[in-house]
Amino acid sequence: MEKSTFNPASVFNSLQYGFSQAVEVRGGRRLLLSGQVGVDEQERTVGPGLREQTEQAFDNIASVLAAAGGQMADVVMLRIYIAEAARDQQEHISAVLLERFASQPPASSWIIVSGLSLPEWLIEVEAEAVLEEQHQVATAALFNSARAL
């Protein structure tokens, strides 16, 4: 799988907010993740703040990706739904994106919504990822093992 990001000078500098203007992907398996919110594995909301809910949503994304054989670097698109109540706190989202996607950040859309499924939820993040083909992963592991001999 090959991934390239595009951030032309003719549009605003989205990299400062932690996302790219466009991502091109060639090869691989497309993985579409359901929206992730700031809840832990026991379905408890992790806290009242946007920062902690955003961190948990991205932890959940990382867990789902890992179960499918992927990682955060495989994410190519995010759709971020922000509750109206957190409209003025979006810098927390940027901070998390800058931490989680230090190089080649995904493209993204940020959408303000009146609310989410539960009133305490402030953010929901959908992700699209492109992962290596299964046979490519197995071949790469075999090649690396052989090279070590």
Which DSSP symbol is given to 130? E
**112 falls within a domain:** yes
Q: What is the pLDDT of residues 88-127, one digit of tens each?
A: 999 999 999 999 999 999 999 999 999 999 999 999 999 9
**16 falls within a domain:** yes
Contact partners, residue 82, CB within 8 Å, separation at least 6: 50, 90, 93, 110, 111, 112, 113, 122, 123
Alpha-carbon span 47 to 82, nearest angstrom:
16
**34 falls within a domain:** yes
Q: What is the mean pLDDT of the chain?
A: 92
How many domains does the chain fold into?
1
Which pTM value belongs to this model? Answer: 0.86
**28 falls within a domain:** yes
**3 falls within a domain:** yes
**14 falls within a domain:** yes
Domain region containing 108? 1-129
CATH of the domain at 76: 3.30.1330.40
Average pLDDT over residues 70-91: 97
**137 falls within a domain:** no
